[in-house]
């Protein structure tokens, strides 16, 4: 049983460019979560999906951010017109139906120059 995977692991981009990250949850986990972690802080919740439905979005998720989970499997997180303040580690986690424990992927570290 493979764990949560994320791609890419690192991304360097210039301000104003769009970036997209992918998360593959543990198979058969129906819940998928995105978090953002800045240096020296704990992860902050961004959004979550149950199957393909996006059920909650944090106010941290500005209009430049969009997340999808087509067919309830992998998920993508897109940031449009990146800003330097978007530099952070983007973490994905998944959990099974009725389960409260979330398992995290290795994260995508984004640097916006």
Partner 1 sequence: AQKVTQAQTEISVVEKEDVTLDCVYETRDTTYYLFWYKQPPSGELVFLIRRNSFDEQNEISGRYSWNFQKSTSSFNFTITASQVVDSAVYFCALSEASTDSWGKLQFGAGTQVVVTP
Q: Which residues bind partner 1 (CB under 8 A)?
A: 31, 33, 35, 40-45, 48, 56, 89, 91, 93, 95, 100-107, 109
Q: Both tokens of residue 62?
A: 């500005």
To partner 1, the closest distance from the beta carbon of 55 in angstroms equals: 8
Q: Which is nearer to partner 1, 54 or 80 (CB)?
A: 54
Quote the CA–CA distance of 51 and 70 in Å, as a whole number: 9
To partner 1, the closest distance from the beta carbon of 78 in angstroms equals: 21
To partner 1, the closest distance from the beta carbon of 14 in angstroms equals: 23
Neighbouring-strand partners of residue 96: none
Q: Which is nearer to partner 1, 45 or 74 (CB)?
A: 45
CB 7 within 8 A of CB 21: yes
Q: Both tokens of residue 43?
A: 């992860």
Q: Which is nearer to partner 1, 39 or 70 (CB)?
A: 39
Quote the CA–CA distance of 70 and 81 in Å, as a whole number: 23
């Amino acid at each position: 049983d493979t764990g949560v995977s994320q791609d890419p692991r690192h991304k360097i981009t210039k301000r104003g460019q769009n970036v997209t990250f992918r998360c593959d949850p543990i198979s058969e986990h129906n819940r998928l979560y995105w978090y953002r972690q800045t240096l020296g802080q704990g992860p902050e919740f961004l959004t979550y999906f149950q199957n393909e439905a996006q059920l909650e979005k944090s106010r941290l998720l500005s209009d430049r951010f969009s997340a999808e989970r087509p067919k309830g499997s992998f998920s993508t997180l897109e940031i449009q017109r990146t800003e330097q303040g978007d530099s952070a580690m983007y973490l994905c986690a998944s959990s099974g139906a009725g389960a409260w424990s979330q398992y995290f992927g290795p994260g995508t570290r984004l640097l916006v120059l």
